[in-house]
């Protein structure tokens, strides 16, 4: 049973470009969470999605960031017009449901570097 | 006040000794508490969960919860160099949107000295 799959593992973008990060949850998991981790800091919640629905996006910056989890395919975190401050590790996690929210299974992360 | 607070460390402990990691949280309505371990450059992995007051033991790990004091801790007995990592405390609470979500502390970096 494959774990949470994220790609790309490393992404380099220049300021103003777009970054797209993908996450395929564990088989059978329908709940996806995105977290951002800056160097030497903890995980900051960004968004919680179920299939075709954004449930909680309270941690998402109001501009340039968007997320989706379509009926088919992976969840995508999209960052438009990236700036240097967007450089971070972006972790996706999945769970079976809210009853198991604490038992999140994390992907290996996508490390974004903005030049 | 941060929702989940941890001492960032670094915390250095001799091999074989007990490592004690602490965490406090602000929301009295928090329901469940978790400790994740994160090696440098790797993803967090769940090592302990605790839901009720008292102690919960799993091998060399013991989680302690005191809801009255809003305090949760992790003890690692017989510390090994492989325990060197950042330990993240996480608290499950109900968000303003009515869904449950995990809020993480900033983590405590633990170094076991051989």
Q: Write the secondary structure of A11-35 as one string of H (helix), E (strand) and C (coil).
A: EEECCCCCEEEEEECCCCCCEEEEE
| Mean pLDDT in order along chain B per 10 residues (114 residues) | 85 96 92 92 92 95 95 97 96 76 91 95
The dihedrals phi and psi of A114, each to the nearest 5 degrees, come to -105, 120
Max CA distance (Å), chain A = 41
What is the structure's pLDDT at B85? 96
Look at residues A15, A8, A6, A3 and name the one whose alpha carbon lies nearest to residue A115. Answer: A15
Q: A96 pLDDT band (50/70/90 cuts)? A: confident
Inter-chain residue contact A42 with B104, CB threshold 8 Å: yes
**Which chain A residues contact residue B10 at CB under 8 A?**
none
Among B35, B102, B105, the strongest candidate for a mutation testing the A interface, having the largest count of A CBs within 10 A, is: B102
Query: Is B37 in contact with B44 (CB distance < 8 Å)?
Result: yes
pLDDT value, residue A14: 97
Strand partners, B91: B33, B103
Cβ separation B95–A58 shorter than 8 A: yes
Calculate how close chain B gets to A1, using CA atoms only, in Å: 17
The per-residue pLDDT for A95 is: 86
Q: Among A90, A95, A20, A91, which residue's Cα sits nearest to residue A50?
A: A95
Comparing B101 with A76, which gets the higher pLDDT?
A: A76
CB contact under 8 A, A58 and B96: yes
Of A5-14, A47-56, A99-108, B100-109, the least confident = A99-108
Q: Which residue has the tokens 């990592």?
A: B85
Q: Is the dihedral of CA B41, B45, B51, B52 positive or negative?
A: negative
């Amino acid at each position: 049973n494959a774990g949470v799959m994220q790609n790309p593992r490393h992404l380099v973008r220049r300021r103003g470009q777009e970054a797209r990060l993908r996450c395929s949850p564990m088989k059978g998991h329908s709940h996806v969470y995105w977290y951002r981790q800056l160097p030497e800091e903890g995980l900051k919640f960004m968004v919680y999605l179920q299939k075709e629905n954004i449930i909680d996006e309270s941690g998402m910056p109001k501009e340039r960031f968007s997320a989706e989890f379509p009926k088919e395919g992976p969840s995508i975190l999209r960052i438009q017009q990236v700036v240097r401050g967007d450089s971070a590790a972006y972790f996706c996690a999945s769970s079976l449901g809210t009853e198991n929210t604490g038992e999140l299974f994390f992907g290996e992360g996508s490390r974004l570097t903005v030049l | 006040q941060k929702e989940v607070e941890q001492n960032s460390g670094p915390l250095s402990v001799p091999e074989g000794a007990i490592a004690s990691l602490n965490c406090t949280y602000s929301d009295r309505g928090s329901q469940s508490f978790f400790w994740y371990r994160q090696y440098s450059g790797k993803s967090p992995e769940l090592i302990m969960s605790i839901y009720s007051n008292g102690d919960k033991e799993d091998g060399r790990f013991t989680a302690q919860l005191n809801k009255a004091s809003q305090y949760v801790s992790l003890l690692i007995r017989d510390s090994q160099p492989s325990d060197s990592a950042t330990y993240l405390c996480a608290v499950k609470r109900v968000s303003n949107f009515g869904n449950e979500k995990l809020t993480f502390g900033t983590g405590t970096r633990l170094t076991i000295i051989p």
